[in-house]
Amino acid sequence: MDGLKGVKKILRNQRGYNMVELITVIVVVALVAALMIPGMVGMIDEARKQADVTTARSIYIAAQAQATQNMAAATPEAPYEIPTAKDLEKYLESDGLYAGITTLTIYDAGRDGTIDAISFKKDGNTIRLDAGDQVRINGKDQPLTTVEGHLNQ
């Protein structure tokens, strides 16, 4: 019975947390959040940039496919025409890749059916993808991330 009395005494002496302990926990949680949030914002921004790079590649491939079709169908009476955003809708609209894009420019300097670059504006960013897979976002080179790149790291 003495053991039971000891347990009852311990239970009676249990109290809640005092104000200092609660404030300390809140301060620690706030500090951890303050340290983590900027890093998470940076990660979100990088993810958006990579999504824009993926969109640029999809648009480039669609533009090249349409340019190839236009070149094959060209005649002296109906010469080759550089694809337009309207021409690419059949390739891109079902995937929602045009969402947020305000301007799309397709470059074919030689008018030979080989797309040299594409450029578009989306969410305030200007993205340009050249034929050599060089990507520039707002004038700055953006490294391409590939599955192999992640596997080799």
pLDDT digit string, tens, across residues 44-76: 888 888 888 888 888 999 999 999 999 999 889
Distances (CA, A) of 46 to 16, 28, 40, 42, 93: 44, 28, 10, 6, 24
Distances (CA, A) of 138 to 17, 32, 129: 53, 33, 12
Q: Is the pLDDT of residue 143 over 70?
A: no
Enumerate residues 6+ apart whose C-beta is below 8 A from 66: 83, 87, 88, 91
pTM, two decimal places: 0.68
- Mean pLDDT estimate for the chain: 82
Q: What pLDDT does residue 8 have?
A: 67
Tell me, rounded to whole angstroms, the distance of Cα 92 from its chain centroid. 17
* Six token digits for residue 90: 């059949």
List pLDDT tens digits, range 74-103: 889 999 999 988 888 888 877 777 778 888
